[in-house]
């Protein structure tokens, strides 16, 4: 039953040489549960084995691209559980996507928040509709971006801009994200986004799979393995009274009072 539920909440299909992953939990802002995280990891493993695929597109249905991790999935975890059962599996899923030999495109059709932004940053190309906003609001909950988000933002946009995005926790619009390097392109609307993605896919499918995989491998070698450092930091944040207060305030729909 759980597997069938996850298959409904994350759709997967292959068409010609393109694999497509679609987040399909629009009533919850496509917030991710542990089952959805595991489903992403298994899909990535399946794509990795299928060398007939030349590109991957990650999409979402509804108003949001993804609002991150469902607070109901992690809000009550102990610090050890947070590290072992939430952060490390999430990092593993996103790292599997980032490590795919095929280029990955994130089609950001709505706001990308927290873990949703981290998911988008695991892709090689990111295109967003002009109305979309990107944000990392975890600090307002007494938490941190635990799925390697801090590092990925710094790699893509630079440390100074990572400080602005991750410490203020305020959203930025698509044009600013494009200027920062967090986006590859901005589209006027969903139709324009599909048109631009189509141009990219046509080019990617004409390229050498081996050459693209080797290029991605070289780029990946520039990154040190920091997953356990992130997991430890997230567990430390989860153990704080600030995080407990942040989760309570979120559930009670009020502003948190941090001490």
Give, in degrees to the nearest 5, the angle at Cα 92 between 58 and 137: 70
Q: How far apart (Å, rounded) are the C-alpha atoms in residues 66 and 80?
A: 26
- Taking phi first (over 0 means left), then psi (-120 to 50 degrees means alpha), and beta for anything else, what does residue 68 get? left
Report, as residue numbers or ranges, the catalytic residues.
118, 138
Q: How far apart (Å, rounded) are the C-alpha atoms in residues 149 and 141?
A: 16
Cβ pair 166, 135 in contact under 8 A = no
Q: Is 68 exposed, middle or buried (0-12, 13-18, 19+ CB in 10 A)?
A: buried
Q: How far apart (Å, rounded) are the C-alpha atoms in residues 104 and 98?
A: 8
């Amino acid at each position: 039953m759980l597997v069938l539920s996850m298959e409904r909440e994350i759709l997967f299909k292959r068409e010609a040489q393109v694999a497509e992953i679609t987040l399909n939990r629009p009533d919850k802002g496509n917030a991710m549960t542990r089952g959805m995280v595991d489903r992403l990891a298994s899909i990535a493993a399946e794509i990795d084995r299928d060398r007939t695929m030349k590109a991957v597109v990650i999409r979402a249905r509804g108003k949001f691209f993804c609002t991150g991790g469902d607070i109901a999935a992690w809000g009550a975890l102990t610090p050890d559980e947070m590290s072992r059962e939430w952060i490390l599996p999430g990092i593993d899923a996103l790292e599997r996507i980032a490590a795919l030999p095929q280029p990955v495109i994130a089609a950001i059709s709505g706001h990308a928040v927290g873990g949703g932004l981290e998911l988008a940053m695991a892709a090689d190309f990111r295109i967003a509709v002009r109305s979309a906003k990107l944000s990392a609001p975890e600090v307002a909950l007494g938490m941190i971006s635990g799925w390697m988000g801090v590092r990925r933002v710094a790699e893509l946009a630079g440390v100074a801009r990572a400080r602005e995005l991750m410490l203020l926790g305020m959203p930025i619009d698509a044009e600013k994200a494009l200027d920062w390097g967090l986006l590859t392109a901005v589209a006027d609307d969903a139709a324009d986004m599909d048109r631009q993605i189509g141009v990219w896919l046509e080019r990617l499918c004409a390229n050498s799979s081996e050459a693209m995989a080797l290029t991605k491998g070289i780029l990946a070698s520039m990154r040190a393995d920091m997953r356990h450092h992130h997991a430890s930091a997230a567990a430390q944040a989860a153990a704080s009274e600030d995080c407990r207060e942040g989760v309570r305030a979120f559930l009670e729909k009020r502003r948190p009072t941090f001490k």
